[in-house]
Amino acid sequence: MKIICVGRNYLAHVKELDNDLPSEPMFFMKPETALLPEGKPFLYPDFSKEIHYETELVLRICKTGKNIAENDAPYYYNAITVGIDFTARDLQSQCKAKGHPWEVAKAFDGSAPVGKFQEISKLKNPGDITFGMKRNGEWAQQGCSRDMIFSFDKIIAHVSRFVTLQDGDLIFTGTPQGVGEVCVGDVLELFLEGKMVFSVVVK
Ligand code: MG
């Protein structure tokens, strides 16, 4: 399986990092080894001094597809949760400045904790999904799917032009505003529609 991550998908977050507004979804990938099993701590890596959390809705692909039309996209995902796109912001800034790829800043081991999946059809209002993350008991980020620049369906149509999507692949759909640094000792709790779906300790 693979993990596809969309960047710059919420206006307020694009502005907080002083990035340009994308005209189409931009994406990068993380490997399967970026997943963090429930109960395992996130180990603060020794190659960065500035690890940021980015709290994101995560879709799970349920059917293999290529060149998927936007109208057909809902047939290709059936489950959703919340995850963290951990980012070594210091390394990412260096990559951006040099025009280098982002993998060292984004794809490292444990950089993709993902919560327990829920069936999308069982959500109250699939067009209006609320999510968030508490850091040490206080809200650090809160978002809603209605604020995305590119919808789930647009993302799937775009990504599948380039990359075949397969059953079990995950798509991180971008972070709302409020990204920030984590510290050793932090406890991060992820919420989907008010229900906790994952918690992780930074060690
Ligand atoms: Mg992200």
Go through the domains of the chain in sequence order and give each one's CATH number.
Answer: 3-201 (3.90.850.10)
pLDDT tier at 103 (50, 70, 90 boundaries)? Answer: very high
C-alpha 58 to ligand 1 mean position (Å)? 11
Question: 121: CA distance to ligand 1 center in Å?
Answer: 25
User: Structure tokens of 34?
Assistant: 């970026």
Neighbouring residues of 47: CB distance < 8 A, sequence distance ≥ 6: 88, 91, 104, 108
**Arithmetic mean of pLDDT, 54-75:** 98
Average pLDDT over residues 101-109: 97
Ligand 1 center–CA 69 separation, angstroms: 24
Return the residue matching tokens 């993998």.
103
Gap between the Cα atoms of 157 and 6, Å rounded: 13
**Residue 75 C-alpha to ligand 1 middle, in angstroms?**
24
Q: What distance in angstroms lies between residue 151's CA and the mean position of ligand 1's atoms?
A: 15
Q: Give the span between the Cα atoms of 131 and 123, in whole angstroms.
A: 12
Cα of 21 vs centre of ligand 1, distance in Å, is 15
C-alpha closest to that of 5 among 125, 178, 174: 174
| Ligand 1 center from residue 51 Cα (angstroms) | 12
123-168 pLDDT, tens per residue?
888 789 999 999 999 999 999 999 999 999 999 999 999 999 999 9
CA of 6 to the centre of ligand 1 (A): 6
CA-CA distance, 48 to 87, in Å (whole number)? 9
